[in-house]
Amino acid sequence: MIEAVIFDMDGVLIDSEPFWLAAEREVFGSLGIIVTEEHSSITSRMTTREVTQYWFDIQPWLERSLADVEHHVIMRVAEFVDLYGEIMPGVEQTLKYFKQEGYKIGLATNSPGILVSRILKKIGIEGYFSSILTADSVDIGKPDPQIYLKSASSLSVSPSKCLVFEDSQGGVMAAINAGMAVIAVSGKYSDTYGNFDQADRWISNLLDFCPEYIEIINRRLIAQVTCSIVVQS
């Protein structure tokens, strides 16, 4: 039975993809790099450190350290968030539902901690989360399942009793590989990030979330446990 829900942030709670693209084009562009949509589709789900290393490997620069460039990208995104950041449809209603129903609520994102706190404060939902894990919390970001396993541990819940809301194929696979149920939030970028066939459900945004989905997932989990017991006996 589901006891905890874990949310990705970018694309699920806030539409920050345009901010990242604008910041990367500006910062990497100042180093003579042309950030194309093709490359952006590859880097979009990397951590900021991984994105910076990605571009350095393609076209090395000498004038600035990688850490300095990464920090510049993050700060530009933060400025865009302060100016234009808005909460995604259905977020507050969904968080209120899970809190009222007594579920533990976590956040697991590839974004850096300095930006996460800023975003949550900007859209006014920082008080909902019992656990917040960021790119700073793990050695490797999604699609590796590490951040979701650590999130479950921090919530004191078995991974098999966690439900994840994700908007990227890599994020969905990270949650599945952690042994969690997943609802894919396709949003406007699903064509870029691939299909979500392995998710338990697929919704356009959190306004489409229905409590019945939890019941359906719980029935699947019970059936799996029952089948396992029968096989073992």
**Catalytic sites, residue numbers:** 8
Spatial separation of the C-alpha atoms in residues 172 and 200, rounded to whole Å: 10
Q: Residue 74, SS3? A: helix
Task: Compute the distance between CA of residue 181 and CA of residue 203 in angstroms, rounded to an integer.
Answer: 14
Residue carrying structure tokens 């050695």:
139
Backbone angles phi, psi at 68, to 5 degrees: -65, -45
CA distance 116 to 152: 19
Amino acid at 141: G
Beta strand pairing call for 131-133 and 104-108: parallel
CB 41 within 8 A of CB 21: no
Structure token digits, residue 71: 């920090």
Q: Is 218 left (phi over 0), alpha (psi -120 to 50) or beta?
A: alpha
Radius of gyration of the chain (CA): 18
Q: Which residue, 23, 5, 149, is CA-closest to 82? A: 23
Helix H or strand E segment including 202: strand 201-203
Sheet with 131-133, edge to edge strand ranges: 131-133, 104-108, 4-7, 162-166, 181-185, 201-203
